[in-house]
Structure 1
Protein backbone atom coordinates (compact mmCIF):
# COMPACT_ATOMS: atom_id res chain seq x y z
CA UNK A 1 0.00 0.00 0.00
CA UNK A 2 1.21 3.51 -0.76
CA UNK A 3 1.94 5.97 2.00
CA UNK A 4 -0.87 8.17 0.71
CA UNK A 5 -3.32 5.43 1.62
CA UNK A 6 -2.17 5.18 5.22
CA UNK A 7 -4.50 6.27 8.00
CA UNK A 8 -7.41 6.63 5.58
CA UNK A 9 -10.68 5.18 6.80
CA UNK A 10 -12.93 6.03 3.90
CA UNK A 11 -16.68 5.56 3.73
CA UNK A 12 -18.46 5.36 0.39
CA UNK A 13 -21.85 6.53 1.60
CA UNK A 14 -25.32 6.42 0.08
CA UNK A 15 -28.65 4.65 0.20
CA UNK A 16 -29.89 1.60 -1.71
CA UNK A 17 -28.93 1.26 -5.38
CA UNK A 18 -26.59 4.23 -5.73
CA UNK A 19 -23.59 2.21 -6.89
CA UNK A 20 -21.79 2.01 -3.54
CA UNK A 21 -20.55 -1.55 -3.93
CA UNK A 22 -19.18 -1.10 -7.46
CA UNK A 23 -17.56 2.22 -6.59
CA UNK A 24 -16.06 0.87 -3.36
CA UNK A 25 -14.77 -2.35 -4.91
CA UNK A 26 -13.24 -0.61 -7.91
CA UNK A 27 -11.66 2.09 -5.73
CA UNK A 28 -10.09 -0.57 -3.53
CA UNK A 29 -8.66 -2.41 -6.53
CA UNK A 30 -7.41 0.79 -8.16
CA UNK A 31 -5.64 2.10 -5.04
CA UNK A 32 -4.73 -1.04 -3.12
CA UNK A 33 -6.51 0.22 -0.01
CA UNK A 34 -8.37 -2.80 1.43
CA UNK A 35 -12.13 -2.95 1.24
CA UNK A 36 -13.57 -4.24 4.49
CA UNK A 37 -14.75 -7.81 4.00
CA UNK A 38 -18.08 -7.68 5.83
CA UNK A 39 -20.95 -9.95 4.85
CA UNK A 40 -23.63 -8.30 2.71
CA UNK A 41 -27.23 -8.07 3.92
CA UNK A 42 -28.16 -10.78 1.40
CA UNK A 43 -25.51 -13.13 2.77
CA UNK A 44 -26.62 -12.48 6.34
CA UNK A 45 -30.23 -13.14 5.35
CA UNK A 46 -29.36 -16.60 4.00
CA UNK A 47 -27.49 -17.35 7.24
CA UNK A 48 -29.93 -16.00 9.83
CA UNK A 49 -33.22 -16.71 8.07
CA UNK A 50 -32.75 -19.25 5.29
CA UNK A 51 -35.73 -19.44 2.97
CA UNK A 52 -36.96 -15.92 3.79
CA UNK A 53 -37.24 -12.84 1.60
CA UNK A 54 -36.53 -9.28 2.72
CA UNK A 55 -40.10 -8.15 2.02
CA UNK A 56 -41.49 -10.82 4.37
CA UNK A 57 -39.30 -10.00 7.36
CA UNK A 58 -40.71 -8.74 10.64
CA UNK A 59 -39.36 -5.78 12.62
CA UNK A 60 -37.66 -8.18 15.02
CA UNK A 61 -35.98 -10.03 12.17
CA UNK A 62 -34.88 -6.81 10.50
CA UNK A 63 -33.36 -5.61 13.79
CA UNK A 64 -31.51 -8.91 14.13
CA UNK A 65 -30.19 -8.55 10.59
CA UNK A 66 -29.07 -4.98 11.33
CA UNK A 67 -27.28 -6.04 14.52
CA UNK A 68 -25.51 -8.86 12.70
CA UNK A 69 -24.43 -6.46 9.95
CA UNK A 70 -23.14 -4.05 12.61
CA UNK A 71 -21.16 -6.87 14.20
CA UNK A 72 -19.70 -7.85 10.82
CA UNK A 73 -18.70 -4.27 10.01
CA UNK A 74 -17.01 -3.72 13.38
CA UNK A 75 -15.04 -6.94 13.10
CA UNK A 76 -13.98 -6.19 9.52
CA UNK A 77 -12.99 -2.59 10.28
CA UNK A 78 -10.88 -3.59 13.27
CA UNK A 79 -9.14 -6.30 11.27
CA UNK A 80 -8.37 -4.01 8.33
CA UNK A 81 -7.13 -1.21 10.59
CA UNK A 82 -4.92 -3.61 12.53
CA UNK A 83 -3.39 -5.21 9.44
CA UNK A 84 -3.23 -2.32 6.99
CA UNK A 85 -3.85 0.93 8.88
CA UNK A 86 -6.68 1.94 6.53
CA UNK A 87 -9.78 0.74 4.73
CA UNK A 88 -12.55 1.64 2.31
CA UNK A 89 -16.05 0.83 3.56
CA UNK A 90 -19.07 0.03 1.41
CA UNK A 91 -21.57 2.07 3.42
CA UNK A 92 -21.06 2.54 7.15
CA UNK A 93 -22.35 1.53 10.58
CA UNK A 94 -24.90 4.32 10.18
CA UNK A 95 -26.66 2.63 7.26
CA UNK A 96 -28.54 -0.11 9.11
CA UNK A 97 -29.53 2.32 11.87
CA UNK A 98 -30.88 4.86 9.37
CA UNK A 99 -32.62 2.13 7.41
CA UNK A 100 -34.38 1.12 10.64
CA UNK A 101 -35.46 4.65 11.61
CA UNK A 102 -36.80 5.31 8.12
CA UNK A 103 -38.80 2.07 8.20
CA UNK A 104 -40.50 3.40 11.31
CA UNK A 105 -41.66 6.38 9.23
CA UNK A 106 -42.63 4.79 5.91
CA UNK A 107 -43.42 1.21 6.97
CA UNK A 108 -41.56 -1.94 7.97
CA UNK A 109 -41.72 -3.48 4.48
CA UNK A 110 -41.98 -0.56 2.00
CA UNK A 111 -41.24 -2.83 -0.96
CA UNK A 112 -44.01 -5.35 -0.24
CA UNK A 113 -47.62 -5.41 -1.48
CA UNK A 114 -50.19 -2.86 -0.23
CA UNK A 115 -52.22 -5.36 1.89
CA UNK A 116 -48.97 -6.55 3.49
CA UNK A 117 -47.92 -2.98 4.30
CA UNK A 118 -51.33 -2.11 5.76
CA UNK A 119 -51.41 -5.19 8.00
CA UNK A 120 -47.89 -4.51 9.25
CA UNK A 121 -48.83 -0.93 10.10
CA UNK A 122 -51.91 -2.00 12.05
CA UNK A 123 -50.33 -4.95 13.88
CA UNK A 124 -47.17 -3.00 14.68
CA UNK A 125 -48.92 0.02 16.17
CA UNK A 126 -48.47 -1.03 19.81
CA UNK A 127 -44.86 -2.18 19.26
CA UNK A 128 -43.71 0.98 17.51
CA UNK A 129 -42.80 2.97 20.66
CA UNK A 130 -40.50 0.19 21.86
CA UNK A 131 -38.82 -0.17 18.47
CA UNK A 132 -38.24 3.59 18.35
CA UNK A 133 -36.65 3.49 21.82
CA UNK A 134 -34.43 0.61 20.70
CA UNK A 135 -33.35 2.48 17.57
CA UNK A 136 -32.61 5.58 19.64
CA UNK A 137 -30.20 3.56 21.79
CA UNK A 138 -28.72 1.85 18.74
CA UNK A 139 -28.11 5.29 17.23
CA UNK A 140 -26.04 6.43 20.21
CA UNK A 141 -23.66 3.49 19.72
CA UNK A 142 -23.26 3.74 15.94
CA UNK A 143 -22.84 7.51 15.91
CA UNK A 144 -20.09 7.33 18.51
CA UNK A 145 -18.32 4.64 16.49
CA UNK A 146 -18.64 6.55 13.21
CA UNK A 147 -17.28 9.75 14.72
CA UNK A 148 -14.25 7.94 16.16
CA UNK A 149 -13.39 5.58 13.31
CA UNK A 150 -13.98 7.30 9.96
CA UNK A 151 -11.81 9.98 8.40
CA UNK A 152 -13.46 10.73 5.04
CA UNK A 153 -17.07 10.48 3.87
CA UNK A 154 -17.73 10.24 0.13
CA UNK A 155 -21.47 10.40 -0.56
CA UNK A 156 -23.14 9.04 -3.68
CA UNK A 157 -26.51 10.77 -4.11
CA UNK A 158 -29.48 9.21 -5.89
CA UNK A 159 -28.95 9.72 -9.62
CA UNK A 160 -31.05 6.95 -11.12
CA UNK A 161 -33.96 4.69 -10.27
CA UNK A 162 -33.51 1.61 -8.16
CA UNK A 163 -32.19 -1.53 -9.83
CA UNK A 164 -35.25 -3.83 -10.17
CA UNK A 165 -33.39 -7.01 -9.24
CA UNK A 166 -35.77 -8.09 -6.48
CA UNK A 167 -33.18 -7.70 -3.72
CA UNK A 168 -33.90 -4.10 -2.71
CA UNK A 169 -37.15 -4.30 -0.74
CA UNK A 170 -37.70 -0.55 -0.48
CA UNK A 171 -39.59 2.21 -2.25
CA UNK A 172 -38.36 5.38 -3.94
CA UNK A 173 -39.84 7.38 -1.05
CA UNK A 174 -37.77 5.26 1.33
CA UNK A 175 -34.62 5.82 -0.73
CA UNK A 176 -35.02 9.60 -0.80
CA UNK A 177 -35.69 9.89 2.93
CA UNK A 178 -32.85 7.54 3.92
CA UNK A 179 -30.47 9.39 1.59
CA UNK A 180 -31.24 12.68 3.34
CA UNK A 181 -30.97 11.19 6.81
CA UNK A 182 -27.64 9.50 6.12
CA UNK A 183 -26.15 12.84 5.07
CA UNK A 184 -27.70 14.67 8.02
CA UNK A 185 -26.40 12.06 10.46
CA UNK A 186 -22.83 12.49 9.26
CA UNK A 187 -23.18 16.26 9.49
CA UNK A 188 -24.53 15.97 13.04
CA UNK A 189 -21.32 14.23 14.18
CA UNK A 190 -19.04 16.75 12.49
CA UNK A 191 -18.41 15.41 8.98
CA UNK A 192 -18.89 17.26 5.69
CA UNK A 193 -19.77 14.52 3.18
CA UNK A 194 -18.17 15.07 -0.21
CA UNK A 195 -20.69 14.50 -3.00
CA UNK A 196 -19.54 12.54 -6.04
CA UNK A 197 -21.68 11.98 -9.13
CA UNK A 198 -21.37 10.56 -12.63
CA UNK A 199 -20.17 7.31 -14.13
CA UNK A 200 -18.12 4.86 -12.09
CA UNK A 201 -15.02 5.99 -13.98
CA UNK A 202 -15.71 9.66 -13.22
CA UNK A 203 -16.43 8.86 -9.61
CA UNK A 204 -13.16 7.03 -9.13
CA UNK A 205 -11.12 9.77 -10.78
CA UNK A 206 -12.83 12.41 -8.62
CA UNK A 207 -12.38 10.47 -5.38
CA UNK A 208 -8.73 9.63 -6.07
CA UNK A 209 -7.94 13.26 -6.83
CA UNK A 210 -9.93 14.62 -3.90
CA UNK A 211 -8.31 12.28 -1.35
CA UNK A 212 -4.89 12.44 -3.04
CA UNK A 213 -4.67 8.67 -3.40
CA UNK A 214 -2.20 6.83 -5.60
CA UNK A 215 -3.37 4.47 -8.33
CA UNK A 216 -1.73 1.05 -8.61
CA UNK A 217 -3.93 0.06 -11.54
CA UNK A 218 -5.80 1.88 -14.30
CA UNK A 219 -9.35 2.87 -13.47
CA UNK A 220 -10.79 0.98 -16.44
CA UNK A 221 -9.09 -2.27 -15.43
CA UNK A 222 -10.15 -1.80 -11.80
CA UNK A 223 -13.79 -1.33 -12.84
CA UNK A 224 -13.72 -4.43 -15.03
CA UNK A 225 -12.32 -6.56 -12.20
CA UNK A 226 -14.77 -5.07 -9.70
CA UNK A 227 -17.80 -5.76 -11.88
CA UNK A 228 -16.68 -9.33 -12.45
CA UNK A 229 -16.13 -9.91 -8.74
CA UNK A 230 -19.50 -8.42 -7.78
CA UNK A 231 -21.33 -10.37 -10.48
CA UNK A 232 -19.88 -13.67 -9.33
CA UNK A 233 -20.69 -12.97 -5.68
CA UNK A 234 -24.26 -11.89 -6.35
CA UNK A 235 -24.94 -14.86 -8.59
CA UNK A 236 -23.72 -17.17 -5.85
CA UNK A 237 -25.84 -15.51 -3.15
CA UNK A 238 -28.90 -15.26 -5.42
CA UNK A 239 -28.65 -18.95 -6.19
CA UNK A 240 -28.48 -19.70 -2.48
CA UNK A 241 -31.62 -17.61 -1.87
CA UNK A 242 -33.43 -19.39 -4.70
CA UNK A 243 -32.45 -22.79 -3.36
CA UNK A 244 -33.54 -21.92 0.17
CA UNK A 245 -36.79 -20.16 -0.68
CA UNK A 246 -40.14 -21.89 -0.66
CA UNK A 247 -43.45 -20.29 -1.55
CA UNK A 248 -45.41 -19.77 1.70
CA UNK A 249 -48.73 -21.51 2.11
CA UNK A 250 -51.84 -19.38 2.59
CA UNK A 251 -51.63 -20.00 6.34
CA UNK A 252 -47.96 -18.94 6.38
CA UNK A 253 -48.74 -15.78 4.34
CA UNK A 254 -51.43 -14.72 6.81
CA UNK A 255 -49.05 -15.36 9.71
CA UNK A 256 -46.28 -13.30 8.05
CA UNK A 257 -48.67 -10.44 7.26
CA UNK A 258 -49.83 -10.22 10.88
CA UNK A 259 -46.47 -10.76 12.55
CA UNK A 260 -44.65 -7.56 13.43
Structure 2
Protein backbone atom coordinates (compact mmCIF):
# COMPACT_ATOMS: atom_id res chain seq x y z
CA UNK A 1 0.00 0.00 0.00
CA UNK A 2 1.23 3.49 -0.81
CA UNK A 3 2.09 6.50 1.33
CA UNK A 4 0.01 9.20 -0.36
CA UNK A 5 -0.04 12.98 0.13
CA UNK A 6 -2.94 15.28 -0.74
CA UNK A 7 -1.04 18.54 -1.15
CA UNK A 8 -2.05 22.18 -1.57
CA UNK A 9 -2.27 25.48 0.25
CA UNK A 10 -5.17 26.92 2.31
CA UNK A 11 -8.74 26.33 1.13
CA UNK A 12 -8.00 23.95 -1.73
CA UNK A 13 -10.10 21.06 -0.39
CA UNK A 14 -7.33 18.83 1.00
CA UNK A 15 -9.14 17.61 4.10
CA UNK A 16 -12.42 16.70 2.41
CA UNK A 17 -10.68 15.05 -0.54
CA UNK A 18 -8.29 13.03 1.63
CA UNK A 19 -11.29 11.77 3.64
CA UNK A 20 -13.23 10.98 0.46
CA UNK A 21 -10.30 9.00 -0.96
CA UNK A 22 -10.04 7.14 2.34
CA UNK A 23 -13.76 6.32 2.31
CA UNK A 24 -13.55 5.15 -1.32
CA UNK A 25 -10.47 2.95 -0.85
CA UNK A 26 -10.36 1.90 2.80
CA UNK A 27 -6.85 3.36 3.12
CA UNK A 28 -6.58 5.24 6.45
CA UNK A 29 -6.13 9.00 6.34
CA UNK A 30 -4.06 11.13 8.70
CA UNK A 31 -4.72 14.74 9.68
CA UNK A 32 -2.32 16.93 11.64
CA UNK A 33 -4.22 18.93 14.27
CA UNK A 34 -4.92 22.51 13.23
CA UNK A 35 -3.19 25.42 14.91
CA UNK A 36 -6.47 26.43 16.55
CA UNK A 37 -6.62 22.99 18.21
CA UNK A 38 -3.04 23.21 19.48
CA UNK A 39 -3.17 26.87 20.51
CA UNK A 40 -5.09 26.60 23.83
CA UNK A 41 -2.56 24.12 25.25
CA UNK A 42 0.61 25.87 24.09
CA UNK A 43 -0.42 29.51 24.49
CA UNK A 44 -3.54 29.77 26.68
CA UNK A 45 -5.58 32.94 26.32
CA UNK A 46 -4.14 33.91 22.92
CA UNK A 47 -5.64 33.86 19.46
CA UNK A 48 -3.53 33.27 16.36
CA UNK A 49 -3.26 36.93 15.41
CA UNK A 50 -1.76 37.70 18.82
CA UNK A 51 0.98 35.07 18.43
CA UNK A 52 4.53 36.20 17.73
CA UNK A 53 6.47 34.71 14.81
CA UNK A 54 8.39 32.28 17.07
CA UNK A 55 5.08 31.21 18.63
CA UNK A 56 3.58 30.53 15.19
CA UNK A 57 6.66 28.46 14.35
CA UNK A 58 6.23 26.54 17.60
CA UNK A 59 2.65 25.75 16.58
CA UNK A 60 3.86 24.55 13.17
CA UNK A 61 6.49 22.30 14.74
CA UNK A 62 3.89 20.83 17.07
CA UNK A 63 1.76 19.98 14.02
CA UNK A 64 4.84 18.37 12.48
CA UNK A 65 5.39 16.23 15.58
CA UNK A 66 1.75 15.13 15.69
CA UNK A 67 1.84 14.26 11.98
CA UNK A 68 4.94 12.09 12.42
CA UNK A 69 3.44 10.27 15.40
CA UNK A 70 0.28 9.47 13.45
CA UNK A 71 2.02 8.35 10.25
CA UNK A 72 4.70 6.20 11.86
CA UNK A 73 2.00 3.88 13.24
CA UNK A 74 0.47 3.25 9.80
CA UNK A 75 3.09 0.88 8.41
CA UNK A 76 0.77 -0.47 5.69
CA UNK A 77 0.24 2.93 4.07
CA UNK A 78 -1.93 6.00 4.51
CA UNK A 79 -3.37 9.13 2.90
CA UNK A 80 -1.87 12.28 4.42
CA UNK A 81 -3.87 15.51 4.54
CA UNK A 82 -1.01 17.85 3.62
CA UNK A 83 2.66 17.28 4.47
CA UNK A 84 5.42 18.81 6.66
CA UNK A 85 6.61 21.06 3.83
CA UNK A 86 3.41 23.03 4.32
CA UNK A 87 4.04 23.53 8.06
CA UNK A 88 7.36 25.16 7.18
CA UNK A 89 5.96 26.99 4.17
CA UNK A 90 3.14 28.68 6.06
CA UNK A 91 5.67 30.21 8.44
CA UNK A 92 8.24 31.27 5.86
CA UNK A 93 5.64 32.82 3.52
CA UNK A 94 4.59 35.15 6.33
CA UNK A 95 8.00 36.79 6.08
CA UNK A 96 7.16 37.73 2.50
CA UNK A 97 3.49 38.65 2.52
CA UNK A 98 2.51 39.08 6.11
CA UNK A 99 -0.53 37.14 7.20
CA UNK A 100 -3.50 39.47 6.93
CA UNK A 101 -5.21 41.47 4.17
CA UNK A 102 -4.15 44.78 5.74
CA UNK A 103 -0.44 43.92 5.49
CA UNK A 104 1.60 44.90 2.43
CA UNK A 105 5.28 45.25 1.52
CA UNK A 106 5.57 48.55 3.40
CA UNK A 107 3.95 47.35 6.61
CA UNK A 108 6.10 44.22 6.43
CA UNK A 109 9.26 46.32 5.99
CA UNK A 110 8.31 48.40 9.00
CA UNK A 111 7.66 45.29 11.10
CA UNK A 112 11.04 43.85 10.13
CA UNK A 113 12.85 47.06 11.05
CA UNK A 114 10.93 47.49 14.28
CA UNK A 115 11.38 43.84 15.31
CA UNK A 116 14.72 43.14 13.66
CA UNK A 117 16.03 40.72 16.28
CA UNK A 118 12.80 38.72 16.40
CA UNK A 119 12.72 38.44 12.59
CA UNK A 120 16.38 37.40 12.48
CA UNK A 121 15.84 34.70 15.12
CA UNK A 122 12.68 33.53 13.36
CA UNK A 123 14.53 33.15 10.06
CA UNK A 124 17.24 31.07 11.74
CA UNK A 125 14.67 28.81 13.41
CA UNK A 126 12.79 28.43 10.13
CA UNK A 127 15.98 27.35 8.38
CA UNK A 128 16.40 24.46 10.76
CA UNK A 129 12.74 23.52 10.50
CA UNK A 130 12.96 23.67 6.71
CA UNK A 131 15.72 21.06 6.66
CA UNK A 132 13.72 18.63 8.80
CA UNK A 133 10.50 19.17 6.83
CA UNK A 134 12.19 18.71 3.46
CA UNK A 135 14.06 15.57 4.51
CA UNK A 136 10.98 13.92 5.98
CA UNK A 137 8.79 14.83 3.00
CA UNK A 138 11.34 13.62 0.45
CA UNK A 139 11.89 10.28 2.19
CA UNK A 140 8.49 9.45 3.65
CA UNK A 141 5.94 9.69 0.82
CA UNK A 142 5.55 7.99 -2.54
CA UNK A 143 2.69 9.74 -4.36
CA UNK A 144 1.91 13.46 -4.27
CA UNK A 145 -1.48 14.69 -5.48
CA UNK A 146 -1.48 18.49 -5.65
CA UNK A 147 -4.68 20.54 -5.50
CA UNK A 148 -4.26 23.93 -7.22
CA UNK A 149 -5.94 27.13 -6.05
CA UNK A 150 -9.35 26.85 -7.72
CA UNK A 151 -11.90 27.33 -4.95
CA UNK A 152 -12.63 30.78 -3.46
CA UNK A 153 -10.83 31.60 -0.25
CA UNK A 154 -13.21 31.36 2.71
CA UNK A 155 -12.51 33.72 5.59
CA UNK A 156 -13.53 32.04 8.83
CA UNK A 157 -12.15 34.48 11.37
CA UNK A 158 -9.27 32.39 12.68
CA UNK A 159 -6.75 31.62 9.95
CA UNK A 160 -3.76 34.00 10.00
CA UNK A 161 -3.74 34.35 6.24
CA UNK A 162 -5.03 36.22 3.19
CA UNK A 163 -5.70 35.57 -0.50
CA UNK A 164 -2.27 36.95 -1.44
CA UNK A 165 -0.67 34.68 1.15
CA UNK A 166 -2.49 31.70 -0.34
CA UNK A 167 -1.31 32.40 -3.89
CA UNK A 168 2.31 33.07 -2.92
CA UNK A 169 2.46 29.93 -0.78
CA UNK A 170 1.06 27.93 -3.71
CA UNK A 171 3.88 29.19 -5.98
CA UNK A 172 6.50 28.45 -3.34
CA UNK A 173 5.13 24.97 -2.63
CA UNK A 174 5.41 23.98 -6.29
CA UNK A 175 8.92 25.45 -6.45
CA UNK A 176 9.89 23.45 -3.37
CA UNK A 177 8.67 20.21 -4.91
CA UNK A 178 10.72 20.98 -8.00
CA UNK A 179 13.83 21.56 -5.88
CA UNK A 180 13.30 18.23 -4.12
CA UNK A 181 12.79 16.37 -7.39
CA UNK A 182 9.18 15.58 -6.52
CA UNK A 183 6.72 15.40 -9.42
CA UNK A 184 3.24 16.05 -8.01
CA UNK A 185 0.18 14.92 -9.91
CA UNK A 186 -2.02 17.98 -10.42
CA UNK A 187 -5.64 17.15 -9.63
CA UNK A 188 -8.22 19.77 -10.58
CA UNK A 189 -11.93 20.14 -11.23
CA UNK A 190 -14.90 19.28 -9.05
CA UNK A 191 -14.59 17.05 -6.01
CA UNK A 192 -16.02 14.17 -8.04
CA UNK A 193 -13.55 14.76 -10.90
CA UNK A 194 -10.61 15.01 -8.49
CA UNK A 195 -11.54 11.79 -6.72
CA UNK A 196 -12.03 9.92 -10.00
CA UNK A 197 -8.65 11.18 -11.25
CA UNK A 198 -6.84 9.91 -8.15
CA UNK A 199 -8.53 6.52 -8.18
CA UNK A 200 -7.65 6.11 -11.84
CA UNK A 201 -4.01 6.99 -11.17
CA UNK A 202 -3.86 4.56 -8.24
CA UNK A 203 -5.59 1.88 -10.36
CA UNK A 204 -8.10 1.25 -7.57
CA UNK A 205 -11.79 0.44 -7.83
CA UNK A 206 -13.88 2.34 -5.26
CA UNK A 207 -15.49 0.34 -2.47
CA UNK A 208 -18.55 2.62 -2.63
CA UNK A 209 -19.80 5.13 -5.18
CA UNK A 210 -17.88 8.39 -5.50
CA UNK A 211 -20.94 10.36 -4.43
CA UNK A 212 -21.23 8.26 -1.28
CA UNK A 213 -17.53 8.68 -0.50
CA UNK A 214 -17.75 12.47 -0.92
CA UNK A 215 -20.90 12.76 1.19
CA UNK A 216 -19.41 10.64 3.96
CA UNK A 217 -16.26 12.79 3.87
CA UNK A 218 -18.29 15.99 4.12
CA UNK A 219 -20.20 14.60 7.10
CA UNK A 220 -16.97 13.52 8.83
CA UNK A 221 -15.35 16.89 8.22
CA UNK A 222 -18.35 18.76 9.62
CA UNK A 223 -18.40 16.55 12.71
CA UNK A 224 -14.67 16.22 13.40
CA UNK A 225 -13.20 19.50 12.12
CA UNK A 226 -15.75 22.21 11.43
CA UNK A 227 -17.38 21.75 14.84
CA UNK A 228 -14.19 22.75 16.67
CA UNK A 229 -14.74 25.92 18.67
CA UNK A 230 -12.71 28.83 17.36
CA UNK A 231 -10.44 30.72 19.72
CA UNK A 232 -11.77 33.99 21.05
CA UNK A 233 -10.65 37.24 19.45
CA UNK A 234 -9.98 40.38 21.42
Q: Any stretches of 5+ residues in structure 1 without a counterpart?
A: 1-5, 248-260
Q: Tell me whether 1:71 sits opposite 2:65 in the alignment.
A: yes
Q: Secondary structure at the match of 1:187?
A: helix
Which residue number in structure 1 is paired with residue 144 of structure 2?
153
For the pair shown, which has the larger CA radius of gyration, 1 or 2?
A: 1
Where does residue 29 of structure 1 map in the other structure?
23
Aligned mate of 1:128, from 119, 128, 151: 119
User: Could you say which residue in structure 2 is the equivalent of 1:13?
Assistant: 7
Structure 2 equivalent of residue 185 of structure 1: 176
Deviations 1:211-239 (A, max 9, x none): 2123111111111111111112234312x
Shift in Å, 1:36: 1.3
- Does the CA-based 8 Å contact 2:112-2:119 persist in structure 1? no
Aligned to 2:225, the other structure's residue is in SS state helix
Distance 2:118 2:127 in 1: 15
The 2-side partners of 1:196 and 1:246 are apart by 36
- Relative to structure 1, is the Cα distance of residues 176 and 246 closer, same or farther in structure 2, using a 3 angstrom cutoff? closer
Separation of aligned partners in 2, 1:57 and 1:120: 14
1:226 maps to 217
Specify which of 206, 212, 227 is matched with residue 215 of structure 1: 206
| Separation of aligned partners in 2, 1:209 and 1:246 | 44
Q: Is residue 16–residue 168 contact of structure 1 (8 Å, CA) maintained in 2? A: no
Write out the 4+ residue segments of structure 1 that deviate beyond 6 Å after TM superposition. Answer: none
For 2:195, the equivalent position in structure 1 comes to 204
Root mean square deviation of aligned Cα: 1.9
How many matched pairs? 231
In 1: Cα distance, 2:20 partner to 2:115 partner: 41
Alignment map for 1:75-86 (pairs within 5 Å): 75-81=69-75, 85-86=76-77
* Distance 1:246-1:34 versus aligned 2 partners, 3 A rule: same
Runs of at least 5 residues in structure 2 that lack an aligned partner in the other structure? none
TM (normalized to structure 1)? Answer: 0.82
Structure 1 residue 125 displacement after superposition: 2.3
2:105 is the alignment partner of 1:111: no
Per-residue CA distance 1:36-71 (angstroms, 9 max, x = gap)? 143222211233234322222111210110110010
TM-score normalised by length of structure 2: 0.91
